[in-house]
Amino acid sequence: MYCILVYDINEKRVTKVLKKCREYLNWIQNSVFEGYLTKAQVIDLGASLDKIINEEEDSIVIFKLQSDKYITKEIKGIDKSDLTSNFV
Amino acid sequence: MYCILVYDINEKRVTKVLKKCREYLNWIQNSVFEGYLTKAQVIDLGASLDKIINEEEDSIVIFKLQSDKYITKEIKGIDKSDLTSNFV
């Protein structure tokens, strides 16, 4: 499925979260990732992030769509991602 | 339509961008907004942001969906938004 992940993490843990997200997703811009994951990968990533974050201080939101066919993406200014996305 | 807006803005302009986004959307967490906009509102917001940002330095990505019916949202840790979303 197509995922957009955004995080707001205490700086003590942000490097670990960034590294973990990079294993699964494409970086778009500061604290935002996107990419295609299987259900198993979503579960794996979620479990890994659960081990890193402090639930009292940190926040992660994962938007999940079955397909990117319903979404369009508008970019203003710099496109910071390296991704050559197929649905811009 | 349902929109997710993420920004990465030079601190000189970030307050103006934040204020403008708040006029149209609901804040979710650091530099992330969501909400329902008409096509006209998307155009208005875009035009306002174009006037504020520096296209060489700043980046805004707006994800647009016709409906939220295809999207699910998973929150880890704190739900920083005030929004009582109807599709969590």
Chain A: closest CA distance from residue B25 (Å): 16
CA-to-CA distance for B73 and B4, rounded, in angstroms?
A: 12
Interface test with A, best of B76, B80, B88 (most A CBs within 10 A): B76
Per-residue pLDDT at B88 exceeds 50: no
Q: Tell me the residue type at A56.
A: E
Q: Do B77 and A59 touch (CB under 8 A)?
A: yes
pLDDT in tens, A1-54: 999 999 999 999 999 999 999 999 999 998 999 999 999 999 999 999 999 999
pLDDT tens readout for residues B25-56: 999 998 999 999 999 999 999 999 999 999 99
Distance CA A31, CA A85 (A): 18
> What is the reported pTM?
0.88
SS3 label, residue A4: strand
Cβ within 8 Å, pair B61-A6: no
Look at the alpha carbons of B83, B84, B86, B88 in this order and tell me if their dihedral is positive or negative: positive
Q: In this complex, which of B4, B49, B65 lies closest to A76 when CB atoms are compared?
A: B49
For residue A82, the model assigns a pLDDT of 53
- A28, with CB counted inside 10 A (0-12, 13-18, 19+), is buried
